[in-house]
Amino acid sequence: MDRKNLYKIFTITLVLIFSLSLCGCAALNFRHEYDKGMRFYNEKKYDEAIVSFNNALNYKPDSYSALCLLGTSYAYKNDDKMAEKTFQDAINLFPDEWNAYVFLGDLKRSRHDYDLAVEYYETAVSLPSMGGKEKTYYKRLLKEIKSEQAGYNMRYSDAIKQARAEGKEGIVNTYTDKNKEPEQQKQTGEILLNIDTSKWTKSLEQKDDKSKLITYGLKGEDAQNYKWTKLITMQYFVLSDNYKTTLDNYFNTHIGAIDAIAKNSGKTFEKKIITQRKNDILYEWKFDNAKESEIARIVYTQQGIYHVHCAKKGAFTNEEKAKAIDLLKTAVLK
């Protein structure tokens, strides 16, 4: 073999090695940014989550879970335009996956754009990727939305819309004042839980006018930097004209996001409702063959939703599960 051909083969080999190393780096960089985004998302630092998920998508533009989580982060920031664009990107790449259709349905419903909301929900229900329990829930939800739409149309009739369009604000305000629902006593969002402070310490607290979050970790563990074996997280979300949901819808959106992450990563995800009442759900899930588990309770009130999680690295023993359930039952909202 002459020197010229030898150099050519050597050059091609170097290019291949370099390309493979780049692929490996891209995968590592994606995982690093994605995990950062998840940490920020769970801590409700949505600005930071948006940056990290966008960085992750630079390395892997076809990550369905990153797109859905990015869109949800935009939605929590009330950036409806970017949320809608991101969910549409997810649908364009993965037209057979149901989650993004549901997220768009939620977005349209929050804007009272019921016709489009119904269209997105119906598309999601028609897809084979949606499980049986989810199909049952969203079929029931579609019936509720039609009643909700009828009530909305009645409250804001064509005459009132016309009055507003003509600048007759006096007429509009007279109508809305007379039909305004009585104000309810405000909730502080403080969740009272019977925590043993000799074992648990507060590692994170965030609050604004829309939500509140407090996380407790075991003493001696660095929960704030995601180094923990057990966590207790208490969240409260204010319900308003900008954010309306039902107990079932909140639960399915929360579980659906985790389910999508598991599906995209090829990891297992098991979920089970332990008990469910009208305004209260107690449930558990196991992720990645129970490498991480959670037992949690969601309670719905007219003013807001509170959500308490007991998480663990590894599976709960029967004794630990019983203790977690007993603890969650003590949760009350001040």
The per-residue pLDDT for range 45-93, each reduced to its tens digit, is 899 999 989 888 888 888 898 899 999 999 888 888 899 999 999 999 9
- Summarize the confidence of residues 264-273 as an average pLDDT: 88
Q: Is the pLDDT of residue 158 over 80?
A: no
Q: Does residue 167 lie in a domain region? A: no
Q: Does residue 175 lie in a domain region? A: no
Spatial distance between the Cα atoms of 36 and 42, rounded to a whole number of angstroms: 10
225 and 144, same domain (yes or no): no
Q: Is the pLDDT of residue 17 over 80?
A: no
Q: Is the pLDDT of residue 11 over 70?
A: no
313 and 223, same domain (yes or no): yes
- Structural domain harbouring 77: 3-151
- Summarize the confidence of residues 301-322 as an average pLDDT: 92
- If pLDDT is split at 50, 70 and 90, which confidence band does 155 have? low
Instruction: Kindly report the average pLDDT of the chain as a whole number.
Output: 80
Q: Is the pLDDT of residue 141 over 60?
A: yes
Q: Does residue 170 lie in a domain region? A: no
Q: Is the pLDDT of residue 299 over 60?
A: yes
Spatial distance between the Cα atoms of 228 and 219, rounded to a whole number of angstroms: 10
Q: Is the pLDDT of residue 9 over 70?
A: no
- Which of 151, 176, 209 represents a domain boundary (last residue)? 151
